[in-house]
Chains A and B, each alone.
Chain A
């Protein structure tokens, strides 16, 4: 596997400009002759599809939901970062760049992160022009809030529904192009394989989820914008349909998977309530602006929160990290919560919870102000738990939320497979080992609006792309394999539900590869997965037929891929003998329990190559150079 990051030369602040200038352009008249496939209609996929169609390319876009507007991005709550410095509090492109590299625990690629910070400012302009109703102050200008890992206020928001508003903006831009017949939209259609012809990504195999029919779509390039894989843990804050199939199938066809063990456990989610829980709900990080996190000072204290006097409360984040306090980055906040709960100070029926308390802010600002800022989140909390968070503190606990790992891409967002581009959460590029809050929306839109539309043009202008005949052997083969797999699932006729297997896998992954990891735990899990996987293929019950709407079958296919994928997560976590960001190996910590990096040996991206079913994957390395932000022990004290 050849990994050439193709980082342009020159000073970091000029790289993107120079690169754009040196790119080959596709003649406007020729753009119409190029077809691009986009899998996904979240922020990344919708913005990319719309922007490429506006430029004149023919675009075919796919999503598994019934409408592109329902992609998982819709659920993002808190906000989107941009280095606008509207608050005049010392923000700049450099500072956003610096915060992101540091927040990622020095495991991201400097050049990509710098570009992200640069284009962040264009994103806000673009969204406002589309009619995204961001929060404004009484002057009519845009308002900002703070997020973890930053000491400036650079987060733009629309109540607790920022993802919804940004996605509707992108969806509307996409709808305009569908109307203009520049985009052909295929909702309720799932990509099940990638087609590679002469070493280049040229198409995908899909299943029409309504009719069940399998078909292929061919193009000059394929863009995956299929989101993250947090549902490998079964319970996560992701939507129920989020899955790893698109990227995993591409990986099986040769695309390197980078840093699969970098997963983000979000500190503020509603704790698990019972066995039949199907997903976990995030309470946006923005709440940490006004909420204070604490546990009782006494172990196993069962008093009501309001009966515990101030002097008997441990505001452990403020105690341990006085300069960032409640706004430490997510990985730090999550581990600190786990530490308190493991030590026996947790609250709630399961003891797996800490308080997020708004009493002081409500006293200071009034309930109305808190309602205006977070009303929908408070409502959501009350609906789920039946408790009123205006009266008693919220109970929260960390939950799987975001995946920094993803398919490896170069500076142009192209994977090692030519013609296969990967954008949004599906790639690995910008967040290193830990993503800062409000930066995923920024990255998805940066990739889709402002990076990919240029870089894909450079690829198309330079590549010799002959038309692939409809009965090409690779197409037939990929279709055959897809339908064989479906038949295998349907013929198993076992008696265990798909969900029961997903739960079993998820619990295993959470215990072995969740908030903290050990060599022995990882090795043990690597032994167990194949056993559960074998049971899955022998005992799973997939009912119904292949030729009709069959949600049971859809789920089974996704869970089957999670089994295969889970193994490279474990291999990756095992190989990375250090702690960094969201990857915490218990063997590697400082005396104060902080993550201990090993820059000498692990300042690299781990890129895994598929070598066959049940074969140990092979790891390749992309070394990371830090010219501008010198790695130091991350400190938020």
Chain B
């Protein structure tokens, strides 16, 4: 396959960026999108040019490191598929593909396609955990958890923290990310204890980081590579109001 790439190049956080045109020949349809970029990068290196910077690590759709807006869509055209799992067979010979970083005020560009998503870590630090220390905990089977609750908690805990929900949202809201964590922990008896303070602390941090408000457009659910559901956001809002009223 032959592909025309338009790739965002930006040498640093405060520099101006631009789209660079690159022709890629002999792309194997069986290669992944990132492997296609690897080939481009090897070519650049061989010519003494700086390769395109992008985050990636596991290349199995689980670490959440890869990002990229591909033709305007976070993680590209395939549903529930991270960029690293997207394969070139999803494109046609001769296609033009525009590759840009995730864009959001809370995710500043570091270089080229790499952005800073540490705001997500700070939101978790503000309360996305059960406050237990190591040791002195009861037997794991001491407290049965209804299978449905455990399964639903798992589905929300499956969030990979990639930030696609923020990148696609016109308000750059982090509501899907935050509400998934809240639901994961609230659904389990171990996490329920702190549910009220957790929702206050995490949503406050979310605001401080500069994420926008949710206006229920549903774009986040559509691009989430792990299929995290929007209904978490309504649960979060209900819990937030309850906690605010009580405090």
| B73 shortest CB reach to chain A, Å | 17
Asked if residues B58 and A128 are in contact (CB atoms below 8 Å), the reply is no
Q: Which residues on the B side are within 8 Å of A379 (C-beta)?
A: 80
Type the 1/0 row for A487-519, where 1 means its CB is closer than 8 Å to any CB of B: 000000101111110000000000000000000
Q: Contacts A69-B121, A161-B62; is A133 near B130 (CB within 8 Å)?
A: no
A386 at the B interface (CB under 8 A): yes
Given A74-B63, A158-B154, A450 and B137 contact (CB-CB distance below 8 Å): no
A383-B87, A549-B110 are contacts. A497–B42 as well, Cβ < 8 Å?
yes
Residues A86-101 near B (CB distance < 8 A) = 86
Tell me whether A567 is interfacial, beta carbon within 8 Å: no
With A131-B185, A497-B45 as contacts: A172 and B130 at CB distance below 8 Å: yes
Residues in B36-77 with C-beta less than 8 Å from chain A: 36, 38-39, 41-42, 44-51, 53, 55-65
Rounded to whole angstroms, the CA-CA distance of A549 and B153 in the bound complex is 37
Chain B residues whose C-beta falls within 8 Å of the C-beta of A495 in the assembled complex? 46-48
- 18 more contacts with CB within 8 A, not counting A173-B132, A276-B35, are A51-B133, A66-B116, A70-B65, A122-B135, A131-B184, A135-B150, A135-B154, A140-B145, A163-B62, A171-B124, A175-B128, A176-B125, A239-B58, A240-B57, A276-B38, A383-B61, A543-B45, A552-B45
Which residues 132-176 in A have Cβ within 8 Å of B in the complex? 132-142, 158-159, 161, 163-165, 168, 171-173, 175-176
Q: Which residues of A contact B85 (CB under 8 A)?
A: 380, 383-384
B144: chain A residues within 8 A (beta carbon):
136, 139-141
Tell me whether B61 and A380 are in contact (CB under 8 A): yes
Residue of A134, A277, A496 touching B150 (CB-CB under 8 A) = A134
A residues lining the B interface (CB < 8 Å) = 47, 50-51, 54, 65-70, 72, 74-75, 84, 86, 122, 124-142, 158-159, 161, 163-165, 168, 171-173, 175-176, 178-179, 185, 187, 210, 239-241, 273-274, 276-279, 281, 379-380, 383-384, 386, 449-450, 453, 493, 495-500, 541-544, 548-549, 551-552
One of B26-34, B166-174, B239-247 at the interface:
B26-34
Q: How far is the CB of B118 from chain A (nearest CB, A)?
A: 7
**Whole-angstrom distance between the alpha carbons of A124 and B140 in the complex?**
6
Q: Does B16 contact A (CB under 8 A)?
A: no
A187–B56 Cα gap in the complex (Å)?
Answer: 15
Which residues from chain A contact B87 at a C-beta distance below 8 Å?
383-384, 386
Is B131 part of the binding interface, using a Cβ–Cβ cutoff of 8 Å? yes
Top-8 shortest CB links A-B = A140-B144, A172-B129, A129-B137, A133-B154, A497-B42, A128-B140, A179-B125, A51-B134
> How far is the CB of A115 from the nearest CB of chain B, in Å?
16
Residue contact B59 to A279, C-beta cutoff 8 Å: yes
Which residues in A have their C-beta under 8 angstroms from that of B133?
A: 51, 54, 173
Min Cβ gap B93→A in Å is: 16
B32 contact set on A, CB distance < 8 A: 278, 384
Given contacts A66-B65, A67-B117, A159-B154, contact A129 B132 (CB under 8 A): yes
User: Would B130 and A131 count as touching, CB distance under 8 A?
Assistant: yes
Please give, as numbers and ranges, the residues of chain B lying within 8 Å of A84 by CB-CB distance: 140-141
Task: Tell me, in angstroms, the Cα distance from A407 to B62 when the chains sit together.
Answer: 28
* Alpha-carbon distance between A130 and B130 when the two chains are bound, in angstroms: 5
A66 contact set on B, CB distance < 8 A: 55, 65, 116-118
Best-surrounded residue of A122, A176, A185, A498 (most CB of chain B within 10 A): A176
Indicate if the CB atoms of B132 and A552 lie closer than 8 Å: no
Name A156's closest neighbour in chain B (CB-CB): B140
Q: Are B60 and A380 closer than 8 Å at their CB atoms?
A: yes
Between-chain CB contacts (< 8 Å), 5 pairs = A51-B134, A69-B161, A172-B128, A178-B121, A240-B58
Pick the contact of A187: B31, B118, B158 (CB < 8 A): B118
When A65-B65, A497-B42, A543-B45 are in contact, do A278 and B34 touch as well, CB less than 8 Å?
Answer: yes
Known A69-B161, A131-B184; judge A551-B51 contact (CB<8 A).
yes
Return the contact of A543 from the options B35, B49, B58 (Cβ within 8 A).
Answer: B49
Q: Does B89 contact A (CB under 8 A)?
A: yes
Q: Select A278's contact among B38, B49, B110, B145, beta carbons within 8 Å.
A: B38
Nearest CB in chain A to that of B139: its residue? A125
Q: A449-B134, A552-B50 are in contact. Are A67 and B45 (CB under 8 A)?
A: no
Could you say which residues of chain A place their CB within 8 Å of the CB of B188? 131, 133
Q: Could you tell me if B129 and A175 are in contact, using CB atoms closer than 8 angstroms?
A: yes
